[in-house]
Every structure is written in structure tokens, then in C-alpha cells.
A and B are shown apart, each in its own frame.
Chain A
Amino acid sequence: RKEVEQDPGPFNVPEGATVAFNCTYSNSASQSFFWYRQDCRKEPKLLMSVYSSGNEDGRFTAQLNRASQYISLLIRDSKLSDSATYLCVVNSGSARQLTFGSGTQLTVLP
């Protein structure tokens, strides 16, 4: 079983739609969780951290369920510029060793 599993997509949604991505992780001792965004032929960039109480950053909402070892990302009112691959990221081993999911590809259509 992979340490971090994501729905690979692709997700093709119209502008303005709400889209949700899910992720599960296998290491119950994990403490840090993130969503990264990667544009085509670019490096991954931090989108947001994920906190136990859930957190929101504008149109983006992240949720964490430790009991189910499940992380989600919700994007509301999607924009063309949201088109990218979204990577679920979890720490494993040392606090500074992150494991990346394989990513979910999103295309927002005009």
C-alpha cells in the first residue's frame, strides 16, 4: 500500500464549479499535512498547510480526519488559473521528511 494515496483524476470542471480532492495516508504517527500545487513543467509549491481543526484560505478549504487518516481539499468557485496538479503531502519518519502523493490533475474549463 502506498504511504499517501490520492484519486489521480483527471478532474475536468467548468469555471465556477466546486471540486473536492481526497487523500488517505497510512502512517498513523504522521503529524504534518500539506497540499502542494504543481503547474505543468514547474516545481511543486506549497498551497496550504492542513490543521486538525480544518482551515480555509479564500476559496480553498482543507480538512483533516486523523481517525480515518484522511485529508481533503475543497476548491470553491474554481478559476481557469486553478488548473494544475494538486499533491497531498504527509510527513513520515523524521518531522522533516515529507512523502508526496502522486497528485490529482485538475483542469478548469471556460
Chain B
Amino acid sequence: DAGVIQSPRHEVTEMGQEVTLRCKPISGHNSLFWYRQTMMRGLELLIYFNNNVPIDDSGMPEDRFSAKMPNASFSTLKIQPSEPRDSAVYFCASTPLEGGSSYTFGSGTRLTVV
């Protein structure tokens, strides 16, 4: 199994630009999570999906952030417009819907907004 695949690994963009992060969960995993990690705040849950349906987006910082999961094998997290304070590592994780609730994380996207 290839694991959870995220792209890009690194993204440097200018303030005001749109940023799209991508995630492919493990095949057969029905729950997908987007986390953000910073030194100051640690790992924060942004949003999660069960069977492609957004369940809880209360962690999304503001309207500039949006996430979609058009099918079971793909999700995107979009920031528009980006700001320097969005600089962080963004992780995607997945888990099977049935039983066993530990997560498998992707390698993350390191975002720098200048």
C-alpha cells in the first residue's frame, strides 16, 4: 500500500495567492482528516470527512479556507487568499470507518506564505 499521499511536499507562495493542497487517502479508508501543525499551536484538526461528506469543519480558521472531497480517493484543501500566518505544515490522515481509530498520516505539505 502506498499510504496516504500528499502533494506538493513544499509550497512557497506570495501573500494573496491561492494555494491548493491535495491528498489521496489509503484505499478503503472512509474517514479523512486535515490537520495543521505549527510550533505555537501544535496539531490542530481543521476538518474531517466520513464517506466523502464533511462532518466537522469547526476547526477551519476562517472563510479563506475550504476543503472538498469529490470522491473516496481524493481531497483538497484550498486557501484563498493566502496570508503569512497560514505558514505551517498541513497533514492529511485517513482511517477505516469501521473499528480501529488510529490514523495514518501523509508526509505533509510544508507551506510558506511570504
Scan A7-36; emit 1 where CB is below 8 A from any B CB, else 0. 000000000000000000000000010100
Chain B positions within 8 Å of A, measured between CB atoms, are 31, 35, 42-43, 45, 48, 50, 55-56, 91, 95, 97, 101-108
Taking a contact as CB atoms under 8 Å apart, the answer to whether B43 and A91 are in contact is no
Taking a contact as CB atoms under 8 Å apart, the answer to whether B102 and A46 are in contact is yes
B47 shortest CB reach to chain A, Å = 11
Extra contacts, 19 of them, besides A46-B104, A96-B48 (Cβ < 8 A), are A34-B102, A43-B91, A43-B105, A43-B106, A44-B43, A46-B103, A87-B43, A94-B56, A97-B45, A97-B48, A97-B56, A98-B45, A98-B101, A98-B102, A98-B103, A99-B45, A101-B42, A102-B42, A103-B42
Taking a contact as CB atoms under 8 Å apart, the answer to whether B107 and A43 are in contact is yes
Give A32's nearest chain B residue, CB to CB.
Answer: B101
Q: Which residues of A contact B56 (CB under 8 A)?
A: 93-94, 97
Q: Which residues of B contact A103 (CB under 8 A)?
A: 42
Taking a contact as CB atoms under 8 Å apart, the answer to whether B105 and A96 are in contact is no
Q: Considering the chains assembled together, what is the distance between the CA atoms of A86 and B31 in angstroms?
A: 24
In order of increasing CB-CB distance, the 4 nearest A-B pairs are A43-B105, A102-B42, A100-B43, A96-B31
Q: Which residues of B contact A91 (CB under 8 A)?
A: 101
Whether A42 sits at the interface, judged by CB under 8 Å, is yes
Q: Which residues of A contact B43 (CB under 8 A)?
A: 44, 87, 100
> What is the total of A-B residue contacts with beta carbons within 8 Å?
43
Chain A positions within 8 Å of B, measured between CB atoms, are 32, 34, 42-46, 49, 87, 91, 93-103
Q: Considering the chains assembled together, what is the distance between the CA atoms of A40 and B69 in angstroms?
A: 29
Q: Which residues of B contact A94 (CB under 8 A)?
A: 55-56
Query: Given A87-B43, A100-B43 in contact, is the A95-B101 Cβ separation under 8 Å?
Result: yes
- In the assembled complex, 6 residue pairs joining A and B whose CB atoms fall closer than 8 Å, in A order, are A43-B91, A49-B102, A95-B101, A96-B50, A96-B97, A100-B42
